Amino acid sequence: MLSRLKYGVLAIGAALLVTGGSGIASVSAQDASPTPAECVSPGLPEGSPTPMDMASPAAEAGHEMEAPVAPEVPAGTPADDATAAEIVAFVENYVACLNAATAAADPSLYVGLWSAAFVMESTGTGNPWDAVASEGSGPGTVVLQAVNNPVVLDDGSRAANAEVLINDHWLANVHMTIVDEEGTWKYGGEMFQTADTSFASGVTVMGIDIVETTDESTGAVTYAFQFLGAPTAVQNEVITLNIANQGAELHEAILIQLPEDADPMGILDGSIAEADVTFIAVAFPIYPGQTYDLSLVNLDPGVYTLVCFIPGPDGAPHIVNGMVAQFEVVAAAA
Ligand SMILES: [Cu+2]
């Protein structure tokens, strides 16, 4: 689904989005269950990932040298009740397959629901087994909290916003497109929008700028996550990272926790084992000029690390050229 955290080199491919508005259909969090048994997936035919030397460079989004532009969110018209029910059922099944995939460490359960176009967009090769490989063991536990704004788009495809809680920390609002592929509804695309945090009585917003600096003499570009205030947040019901991409390149913000006092650069040199890195959430893609709200719940006191692995023009992941930062969540005063 939502993303592939693959780290070491690239990191993620993900997308989801936002809306709100005429939420005809809605399912409550209480009704939703991460029970894997409900997943109905066609699965995938036998296959294997594309060998590395044949993989398309297009699969690496950061390699786009022209300034990437955020896609428009299609508006559509509100779905009638019967169509809305079908949209909700699709989303519920998709989430069930995400959970089933995580439980079985088998992303083919939900990649099997992807349209051919979404497989191509996600992999650059069109080989669904490349998507399976990059998804790792699945997205983790996904709790569906609501399906909002079910619409029919001009071309007959459908869309809705799924409000989900991923791994107990990451509140995401995923705008999902559902397309008819030879008579079967398939997952056609996703864009992340701002999650609904209106349920919370306490929200802390941390402003973060992504900046790029070019050395006039060498042309080398360095990157930074710059906190607008102190890089400290008092524990709260919701902590939202309001991340503004002030640069010209595509970026991401992967939120992880590392072993205490570890130097984040140990991610690159192997001195921090992958098993010792806890993935929390990710903001991706963050387009130039875009501001992205990454909303988090249940953050315990501690140090959190933001990194970007998208490669720059020199081919090196941005973390190599400075794109790493840490902030601390501290306990509220008693
Ligand atoms: Cu970056």
Q: What is the pTM of this model?
A: 0.84
Q: Give, in words, the CATH class of 203-330.
A: mainly beta
Integer Cα distance of 299 and 232 in angstroms: 13
Query: In this structure, what token pair is assigned to residue 96?
Result: 């069930």
Q: What spacing in Å lies between the alpha carbon of 253 and ligand 1's midpoint? A: 7
For the ranges 33-37, 145-149, 211-215, which has the lowest average pLDDT? 33-37
Are residues 6 and 147 in contact, defined by beta-carbon separation less than 8 angstroms? no
Give the pLDDT of residue 66.
65
Ligand 1 center to 15 CA (angstroms) = 16
What are the residue ranges spanned by the domains of the chain? 1-40+75-196, 203-330
Q: Calculate how far, in angstroms, residue 284's C-alpha sits from the geometric centre of ligand 1.
A: 10
Q: Is the sign of the CA dihedral 271, 274, 278, 280 positive or negative? A: positive
Tokens representing residue 276 in the block: 């010792």
Is residue 30's pLDDT more than 70?
Answer: no
CA of 40 to the centre of ligand 1 (A): 37
Rounded distance from Cα 200 to ligand 1 centre (Å): 30
- Ligand 1 centroid to Cα of residue 223, in Å, is 7
Tell me the CA–centroid distance for residue 60 and ligand 1, in Å.
13
Instruction: Give the whole-angstrom CA distance, residue 113 versus residue 44.
Output: 9
Confidence of residue 71 (pLDDT cuts 50, 70, 90): confident
Residue 44 has pLDDT above 70, yes or no: yes
Could you report the per-residue pLDDT of 91-105, keeping only the tens digit for each?
A: 999 999 999 999 999
In the CATH hierarchy, which top-level class contains the domain 1-40+75-196?
alpha beta
Cα-to-centroid distance, 212 and ligand 1 (Å): 9
CB atoms < 10 A from the CB of 61, how many?
20
- If you measure from the C-alpha of residue 326 to the centroid of ligand 1, how many angstroms do you get, rounded to a whole number? 15
Q: What is the distance in A from the centroid of ligand 1 to the CA of 68?
A: 13
For residue 144, the cross-strand partners are: 164
3-class secondary-structure state, position 102: helix
If one compares 24 and 52, the residue with the highest pLDDT of the two is 52
CA of 55 to the centre of ligand 1 (A): 22
Cα–ligand 1 centroid distance for 310 (angstroms): 5
